[in-house]
Amino acid sequence: MTSKSYNSINGILLLDKPLHASSNQVLQKVKHLYKVKKAGHTGCLDPLATGMLPICLNEATKFSQFLLDNEKHYFVVAELGTQTDTGDAEGQVIATQTVPPISEEYLRSVLLKFEGEIQQIPPMYSALKHQGTPLYKFARQGIDIERKPRDVSIYQIQFKHFNNRQLALEVHCSKGTYIRTLIEDIGKHLKCGAHVIELRRLKVGHLEQSGLITLTELQALTANELQAQVKPISVMLAPLPKIMLADPLDERFWLGQKLPYADLPSGQWVRVYSERYGFIGVGQGESEGQLLVPVRLMQKNC
């Protein structure tokens, strides 16, 4: 496979992020391996975290928002009785407390209090920006920036086990949820503090971890094998309804023209295909279900 054909790759790679690497470090290695001009991940994972890191290549970056906005599933192990400045095992211990006797029944009742719509204050050690600068850069200088609470949704917290101060959970949550903050808040409620010692992202939206590949495995592949690991852009958008357009409507859509399309609810996102060219972009319903509006379009030569 030539450099030119590498640059023509458009799709999504489901990477199993390694421990202690930043999401951006992994992204740059993947970008180098595939020799692509554009690449982006669909939501940061902390260095401590492993698991699903979807990486969009070339044209797929146009559609990354559909995964960024999706719900997430995590497996997390927390250690009770110790707090750190980062909220996880990467940070410095700032407080220790005795863990009181806690029954499984009581733990389950506490976890229920955190399900539903809740507010979180984003941690200082995060990539969230203040005046264009990531908060973690201020934190490293000992500067604390005031952060406003944010609304997030915790759909379910599933108790896995509790043993020797370690609490294991599975969390199904909305985008923008900080698992470290959730664990810290649970620790405060238990009056003993807590921090994350293990974190793994299991799912992003409808994408399952069965298709994950590690960076080490990726680096051992041949050129053709690398290309085979890239899934089509349409895989990212599988939950969206599908619309097929024939000539000349496909050409008009590709030119950015609104098309008459009955019974398409206003605001409804759809995958749009051409009978001749395959997947050509994403559209949205408008004007009480009477129009199909182009929103994100593939380049025509892809």
From 16, 46, 88, 185, the catalytic residue: 46
| 46 is an active site residue | yes
Residue in the structure block whose two tokens are 């023509």:
8
Q: Measure CA 136 to chain center.
A: 19
The residue among 160, 103, 148 whose CA lies nearest residue 122 is: 148
259 CB burial (10 A radius; 0-12, 13-18, 19+): middle
DSSP 171-208: EEE-TT--HHHHHHHHHHHTTS-EEEEEEEEEEETTB-
User: E strands within the chain?
Assistant: 11-17, 39-41, 49-57, 72-80, 82-84, 93-96, 116-120, 129-130, 133-134, 150-163, 166-173, 194-204, 213-214, 242-245, 259-260, 269-274, 278-286, 291-297
3-state secondary structure of 279: strand
**196, 48 contact by CB (below 8 A):** yes
Spatial separation of the C-alpha atoms in residues 82 and 297, rounded to whole Å = 49
Q: What is the largest CA-CA distance in the chain?
A: 71
The residue among 169, 28, 51 whose CA lies nearest residue 110 is: 169
Beta-strand relationship, 93-96 and 82-84: antiparallel
Beta-strand relationship, 82-84 and 72-80: unpaired
Residues with catalytic function:
46
